[in-house]
Amino acid sequence: MKYTTLAAISSLALSVASAGHAEPQAEVLHWWTAGGEAKAVGVLQEEFAENGGTWTDMPVAGGGGDAAMTALRARVLSGNAPTAVQLKGPAIQEWYEEGVLADISSVAESEGWDDLLPASIAGHMKCEDTWCAAPVNVHRVDWIWANAEVLEANGIEMPTTWDEFNAAAEKLQEAGVIPLAHGGQAWQDATVFETVVLGLGGPEFFQKALVDLDPEALTSDTMKASFDQMRTLRGYVDDNFSGRDWNLATAMVMNGEAAFQIMGDWAKGEFLAAGKVPGEDFLCASTPGDGYLYNVDSFAMFNVDGDDKKAGQELLAKLIVGPNFQKVFNMNKGSIPVRTDVSLEEFDTCAQKSSEDMTAASESGALLPSYAHGMALRGAQAGAITDVVTAHFNSDMSSDEAVQMLADAVANSM
């Protein structure tokens, strides 16, 4: 009896204390407005509300985030930044340099993010020594997807080197199948290009060329070989590829018109949505070569006034990296959890492989940021490289010319 009274009193005291405490508030700017993504954000909203917070949704769709960034610029310039913003990679550091990001180290330390997250991914979330962003998911970019039936009918195994891929493609072409489904949009050209650079040059070369932008690496023979391979791949793409969206290319693999597609694991969502089973109807493998290219979505926390907003920021950061959200969100989105201690039992085999490879790559130092998806470089540099890659892929430019243009474009973008 005495004990329960004490408990009652203390819980009363607690509730009084928390009533005096600010109620968490968060205004969240993001561009996850379609299908599985919208559902995934809904999960976070619910969880936020269950923990006593008030969520103000600020979805700005369009232009692959361009529209949201324009809205963000206006908000920051007017001194009224949102609480949290969907940002990723070097863009976080760019905003930090403008002096507008908040410090969420207290949450990160009490939750032990340092031990939960792979070191190279944690690096993106830190601004100098403080934590300023919370990671949501890991997309792997260097995937190659294949139609299982087509491969079997032509007696082809999943290729593990680019030479094997070329041999398989020749065989498929003779059999009248389009070897590579590809959409001629600059970012898709860039996606294929970075997997080729990783495959032919290895993780160390990738780091030097596309992360550190070392001029010698950019004009090296390995880079020339990468452009040669791009020219070869151009021959394996159908004539009608210009401007095609990536999901239409995925559909070509699905219905057997084409054999392979090189695309990040959001392509898996298309296969699954069409009721295809991984390992049976379609195959997933990492693109030829070693390494792991990641594309990590995250929420950056902006400087806000008021205890309620700061409390919201901390609660949001805690929930985003929390195991429940990581699991539910990533099952909806097709990516894998960023923390390594979440059980993957309910995930599909491709996601399990992705997670295993991530852990292995993190240990061997082959866990690398994707340049094509804005993880490795700032907008101006990444854009300059993409310009060259897409100009080369869509013309008859020689590889010698391409590497020279690449070095010039990178120097010009600084």
Partner 1 sequence: MAKWFETHLPKIVLAPSFIAILIFVYGFIAWTAWVSLTRSRLLPKYEIEGFIQYERLFDSPRWDTAMNNLYIFGALFIGVSMILGLVLAILLDQQIRVEGAIRTIYLYPMALSMIVTGTAWKWILNPGLGLEAMVKGWGFETFTFDWLVNPDMAIYTVVMAAIWQSSGFVMALFLAGLRSVDTEIIRAAQIDGIPTWRVYVSIIIPSMAPIFLSAFIVLAHLAIKAFDLVIALTGGGPGYATDLPATYMYAMAFSRGDIGQAASSAMIMMLVVFAIVVPYLYSELRARND
Which residues make up the interface to partner 1 (CB under 8 A)? 63, 66, 69-70, 73, 76-77, 91, 94-95, 98, 184-186, 189, 239-243, 378-380, 382-383, 387, 390-391, 393-395, 405, 408-409, 412-413
Tell me the residue length of the chain: 414
CB of residue 411 vs partner 1: minimum separation in angstroms?
9
CA proximity to 109, closest of 96, 125, 89: 125
Of the pair 70, 80, the CB lying nearest partner 1 is at 70
Of the pair 5, 240, the CB lying nearest partner 1 is at 240
Q: Are 328 and 266 in contact (CB under 8 A)?
A: no
Query: CA-to-CA distance for 308 and 342, rounded, in angstroms?
Result: 30
Query: CA-to-CA distance for 260 and 179, rounded, in angstroms?
Result: 6
Please state the φ and ψ torsions of residue 276, each to the nearest 5 degrees: -85, 150
Q: Are 25 and 54 in contact (CB under 8 A)?
A: yes
CB of residue 85 vs partner 1: minimum separation in angstroms?
13
Of the pair 44, 91, the CB lying nearest partner 1 is at 91
Q: How many CB atoms lie within 10 A of CB 14?
A: 10
- How are the residues of the chain apportioned to helix, strand and coil, as percentages rounded to the nearest 5? 55, 15, 30
Of the pair 130, 185, the CB lying nearest partner 1 is at 185
CB of residue 376 vs partner 1: minimum separation in angstroms?
15
Of the pair 95, 302, the CB lying nearest partner 1 is at 95
Alpha carbon distances (Å) from 334 to 13, 120, 348:
44, 21, 9
Which DSSP string do the residues of 365-383 spell out, in sequence order? T-EEE-TTTTSSS-HHHHH
Query: CA-to-CA distance for 112 and 121, rounded, in angstroms?
Result: 14
Q: Are 266 and 40 in contact (CB under 8 A)?
A: no
CB of residue 65 vs partner 1: minimum separation in angstroms?
9
Of the pair 7, 380, the CB lying nearest partner 1 is at 380
Residue 165 corresponds to which tokens in the numbers above?
């891929």
CB of residue 237 vs partner 1: minimum separation in angstroms?
11
Of the pair 352, 398, the CB lying nearest partner 1 is at 398
CA proximity to 259, closest of 285, 243, 282: 282
The residues facing 131 across adjacent strands are 126
Contacts 24+ apart (CB under 8 A), 395-399: 399/224, 399/225, 399/227, 399/228, 399/231
Of the pair 167, 380, the CB lying nearest partner 1 is at 380
CB of residue 10 vs partner 1: minimum separation in angstroms?
49
CB of residue 272 vs partner 1: minimum separation in angstroms?
27
Of the pair 228, 238, the CB lying nearest partner 1 is at 238
Of the pair 90, 288, the CB lying nearest partner 1 is at 90
CB of residue 100 vs partner 1: minimum separation in angstroms?
9
CB of residue 249 vs partner 1: minimum separation in angstroms?
13
Q: What angle do CA 341, 343, 345 make, to 5 degrees?
A: 160
CB of residue 409 vs partner 1: minimum separation in angstroms?
7
Torsion angle, alpha carbons of 271, 275, 279, 281, to 10: -90
